Structure 1
Amino acid sequence: MSDLAGHIAVVCNYQLREDRIGGMDRFFVRYDAFAKANNYKVSWYFSNHEDLEFYRELDIVPNSGKSAEQHFIDHLNSSKYSHVVTHFTSLCSNFHKKIKQALPDSKLMVVDHNPRPLHGFTVKKRLKNRLKAILFAKYVDQWIGVSNYTVHHIIKDLGNLVKPKTRCIYNGIDVSVIPSRDIIGNINFTAHRPLRLMIVSHLRHSKGIQDAIAALGRLSIQELNSIEVTIYGEGPFEAQLRQQVADNNLDLVITFKGSSPIIPQLLQDYDYLLQPTYMECFSLSILESLAANLPVITTTVGGNLEVIHHEKNGFIFEPQAIDDLVTVLHGIVHSRLAIEEPTRPLIKQEFYLDKMVQEHFNLID
């Protein structure tokens, strides 16, 4: 034990699921391997504990159903951690004070993945955030935002006192697991084959899928005969979305497929990823789509504009602007709009997993 460089605790409010091995799962496993290769021990605290083959090399502390934060607090006295890293937890709270009181010599880093509401927090919420910053910001050594958008909002939420301790590390993906599709260029889908759109999302109102359905409902029968839409994901808004599909007579156009562990392999079968979201930090689904040479139709929210460039690797519209989405769909179906350049090189050069892991680990070593 004494010859270790350090012992890292990673606390993640994140559900481990066999049917959803995605970008963050790959990051956790790669980070763990990288830390061990540099002589660090890593202990993982998740929201649940599943014996998944994908995670077989990780030292996961069993959880009996508590939140990841409480699970970690209950084990604070069991190990002397040199570093504590949190993902998907609170941004600044009494939780961080408890960690520093128990581990005063540890370095505490908070990674913020959480998108903000489309129209921002309420005044009451903003005041509470500023009060939390006054009380607890001194216990956090580093905040990491997964996009410049996120960094901006960390500082906006907590105040300028946290600015010197806040930086951006972009999400990255494992490009090697994503097959690359051929660039199809400009096709008149009404004359050749259907336009194939995919939506990959948690099914909740803030993801804006209801706007995609509404936009499709405004297209002509001839256009709808030239479009196929597949929705991958599950969530509390699924029943409402299915009812909206039925109400708009789109049952033959839109198919719900639930969650899938093989999304990276499925991307090559589609023409565009459609993500009409109201809230986003820095979407792994967008990165994976671009890595497959699959252009993206999405909104201006969050960090989307940091990777999607209008008419270069996708099409951008304002959130809730259904008329604008209809215009984009019209243009694509009738071959007035098309993305004709590969979208994969940007991801390989700037948003790859090993870069993300190295930059996170640079804060440790």
Structure 2
Amino acid sequence: MSTQSSPPFLQLDGVRRAYGAVNAVDNIDLQVVRGELLTLLGPSGCGKTTLLRMITGFEGLCSGAIRLEGQNIHHQPPQKRPFGIVFQNYALFPHMTVRENIAFGLRSRRWSRQAIHQRVAEMLELADLQAHASKYPSQLSGGQQQRVALVRALAPGPRVLLLDEPLSALDARIRVHLRQQIRQWQRALGITMIYVTHDQEEAMELSDRVVVMNRGRIEQLGRPMDIYRFPATPFVAGFVGQMNFFHATVEEEKIHWSGYMLRADNIPVNNREILAGIRPSEIELLPPEYAGSIENRVKASVREVCALGSVVRLTVDAGNSSSASQLHVEIPQAQARILAFGEGQQVVLRLPKEAIRVYPRKGQA
């Protein structure tokens, strides 16, 4: 799917929602391409769920417009908008079987009995729920209930499917399995989806594009890997993945930090004081006895070793043992076993210049 040449399918122009003096959604412009899975990602209170509710019609607009294929829909009530909605709490009818829950929206739209029977069978097969068709929600696991909620929303063939943190109540293993299924269904059906989550891993795996939100505004919009590799702001850098931040100064086109002079791409020439960052996984660990000349080499001592499953995180001192000179370094478990790091051990690091992100200090242009 190309998101570059496709015309906007769903368009938000300057939408705003305020509660008193607080702008929960602050003048957002956004274009959603037909057939893409777009994720609204951000911490609690950033405005992502409010924005989703504005699209569904459950929240009104203080200003702005929402258009579907060029037609204004922001004055339409929720039931008139051609959208499907999946909530965090499933919202299944407890007195209806799985089959009856899936058929409910079709009956309310006056589908024929034959068409309902065929569509329900298709949805049961899609979600692998044939063996549970006659069960009630109370007889299902959480993952099964959420699959019912998903295919119930898909059954009427909505133009857009909106999902508000649908997996947050499930355990980690079920979440991974279900988000893979959601992505498979989305591609198979070619449906446009807007997905809300605070889980960065979920957003990275699911999305064609990610909207990172903060304080009611869009901090960055782009493909998952572009957002991870090229975070536009310190907020994005710290929220999407792990990031070492350090305050530094710029002199003669080099970063001065903790007694070291480092090169980096795109150093702002007008800012002497900067905030620099590098991801723990992008720091290279050299042999302790390494004595050669190499750009951006840093000597450090190990303060702490922490196993994190497939990787090991080292906390190292790269200068005067203060928190300002500490870095986190992540290396594969296999490498850590070979090198057998211990507290106090001396190490040599390389901070690749292309991996260092540089931002103006807060308050600077």
If the length of structure 2 is used for normalisation, what is the TM-score?
A: 0.29
Higher CA-based Rg: 2
Which of the pair has the greater relative contact order for Cα pairs under 8 Å at 6+ separation? 1
If the length of structure 1 is used for normalisation, what is the TM-score?
A: 0.29
- Which structure: greater helix fraction? 1
